[in-house]
Structure 1
C-alpha cells in the first residue's frame, strides 16, 4: 500500500483534524503521535528507525496510507525518498500562536501522567523517548534546557525554518500549504477526491489536551496489559 499523503506540519497545527479528514477521505489509517502513545509496538519501531543512518521509516509506517504530526512530520524527506509518488500537506498557523499552544501542551508534559502513586516504568520510558530521543531531533539548541523553557524566538525560528525547507524542497504540484480552517475544498482539490457531505472535523483544541492525554495514556495501559496477558497465555 505505502504512504500516499505526507503531513509535514508540526504538531499543534491542526494535525488531529487533518488526520480525521484524511481518514474520512479514504486515506486511512493515518499515523499520528496518538498511535505512538496507544500502540506499544510503535515506540520500539521508532527507536529502531532512529538507530539507522539515514533514518529508515518504512517499518514504522507499514500498513498506513498517510502520516501527520510528530514524529512523522520531522521525517518528511525520508518519507518522500521511500514513497516518491506521495503528496505533501504542510499545515501552518501563525508561528507565535503555534508556540503558545505548544508550550501549554506538548512541551508541558515531561512524561506521561502516572496512573497511580507508584512510578510507572512504561510511562517513564515513554517520557524519555519523547523528550530525550524524539523532540531534541527537532528542537536542538545544543544545551540541556527542558522544552518548556525554550526561548520563543528560537522555537519560532525552528518552526519557520521547517516550513521554508518544505516549501523550497517539495515540487509545487505535490505540495499543499494548508490551514485546517480552510475546510474541505482545497484539501479535496489537491488530493483529487470529492468533497464529503459532512462538516470538516475540528479536533483537539488546546483546552481539551489534558483530558485527551489522560484518555490516550489509559488506552496505552490497556494495550500493554492485553499484550502481557497474551504473552502469559503463550508461555
Structure 2
C-alpha cells in the first residue's frame, strides 16, 4: 500500500517555529529540481524523493509551514515578473532553499530558469499530465480555494499567515499566468512552460516523467536503486482539501485567541463561510 503524505506537522499555529530564512546558507547540495507545475503529481513526488533519500523536499506546504517564506517568494515574483527589486540569484536561492536537496510544486516551478542556472549540477525532472485534465484539477482546487471569500476574510483577520500567503500567491499567479484568467491562456502557459523547461535543460540532466509510470525510469535517471515499496500515489485533491482545512480552522482559532472573545461573531462568520466553501 502506498504511504500517505503526513500533513499534521504542516503548521504550528502558535507561530513559535516560524523563522526568516534571510541570511541563511546552503547546508546540503541541491540535487533534484522537479519543475512540472503543481497538480502534476507533485505531492507524490515529494514522498517518492524522500523514500529515495532526498531530505527536505521543498513544496508549497513547506512555505505554509513557515509563512515568512512567502515574503521572499513575493519578493522574487515582484522582481521577476514586475521589475520591482533585485532578481533572485544563487545567494538568495541558497537562503530560501538551502536546507533542501530537492524542490517540486509551485512556487519553485515558476522560477525554473533561475533554479536551473543557479544549480547547474542538479538533475531536472519535468512532471507532466494531459493539459485539459491538469486545468480541471487546478480549476477545482487551487483557484476555487484562493479566489474564495473565506480566504479573503481570514486574510484580513490573520495578516501574519493567510494574508501574507495570499499576497505572495497573487503576485505569483498574475506574474506567471498573466492577467487573462480564462482556460486557453492558462493551458497555453502550462504547455509553454513544459516546452521551455525541456529546451533550457541539457539532455543528460533532463527527464520528462509522469507519476503513473512508477519507479524504474525515475530511479535510473537519478542513479538510485528501485525501492521495494510501491510508488506513492497520493490523492492531491484530498490532501489539498485537508491542508485547507488545517490552515483555515487553525487560523480562525489563532485569530480568536489573539483578538479576543469580542471578535467571536466574526470568527463564527469565518467558519460559516469556510464550511460553505468546503461543501
Report the Cα distance in structure 2 between the residues aligned to 1:185 and 1:102, rounded to whole angstroms.
28
Alpha-carbon distance, 1:4 to partner: 0.7
The 1:63–1:218 alpha-carbon spacing in structure 2 relative to 1, beyond 3 Å, is farther
- The residue correspondences of 1:116-131 to structure 2 (distance < 5 A) are 119-121=157-159, 122-131=161-170
CA contact (8 A) 2:146 2:166 kept: yes
Report the Cα distance in structure 2 between the residues aligned to 1:62 and 1:221, rounded to whole angstroms.
32
Structure with larger Rg: 2
Report the Cα distance in structure 2 between the residues aligned to 1:223 and 1:83, rounded to whole angstroms.
39
Alpha-carbon distance, 1:24 to partner: 0.9
Alpha-carbon distance, 1:212 to partner: 2.6
Report the Cα distance in structure 2 between the residues aligned to 1:178 and 1:221, rounded to whole angstroms.
39
Alpha-carbon distance, 1:19 to partner: 0.8
Q: 1:199 aligns with which of 230, 234, 238?
A: 230
Report the Cα distance in structure 2 between the residues aligned to 1:194 and 1:215, rounded to whole angstroms.
36
- Partner residue in 1 for 2:45: 18
Alpha-carbon distance, 1:37 to partner: 1.0
Q: TM-score normalized by structure 1?
A: 0.82
Q: Provide the alpha-carbon RMSD of the alignment.
A: 2.6
2:34 is the alignment partner of 1:7 = yes
- 1:176 counterpart SS class: strand
- The residue correspondences of 1:70-219 to structure 2 (distance < 5 A) are 70-110=106-146, 113=150, 119-121=157-159, 122-131=161-170, 133-141=171-179, 150-216=181-247
Alpha-carbon distance, 1:53 to partner: 3.2
Instruction: Structure 1: give runs of 5+ residues left out of the alignment.
Output: 144-149, 225-235
Report the Cα distance in structure 1 between the residues aligned to 2:222 and 2:248, rounded to whole angstroms.
33
The 1:39–1:198 alpha-carbon spacing in structure 2 relative to 1, beyond 3 Å, is same
CA contact (8 A) 1:7 1:66 kept: yes
Report the Cα distance in structure 1 between the residues aligned to 2:60 and 2:37, rounded to whole angstroms.
11
Q: TM-score normalized by structure 2?
A: 0.70
Q: 2:86 aligns with which of 53, 57, 67?
A: 53
Instruction: Structure 2: give runs of 5+ residues left out of the alignment.
Output: 1-27, 80-84, 256-279
The 1:223–1:48 alpha-carbon spacing in structure 2 relative to 1, beyond 3 Å, is farther
- Partner residue in 2 for 1:63: 99
Alpha-carbon distance, 1:219 to partner: 6.6
Report the Cα distance in structure 2 between the residues aligned to 1:220 and 1:62, rounded to whole angstroms.
28
1:154-210 CA-partner distances (Å, limit 9, x unpaired): 111000000111111111111110000001111101000001110111113324432
The 1:185–1:216 alpha-carbon spacing in structure 2 relative to 1, beyond 3 Å, is farther
The 1:168–1:139 alpha-carbon spacing in structure 2 relative to 1, beyond 3 Å, is same
- 2:208 counterpart SS class: strand
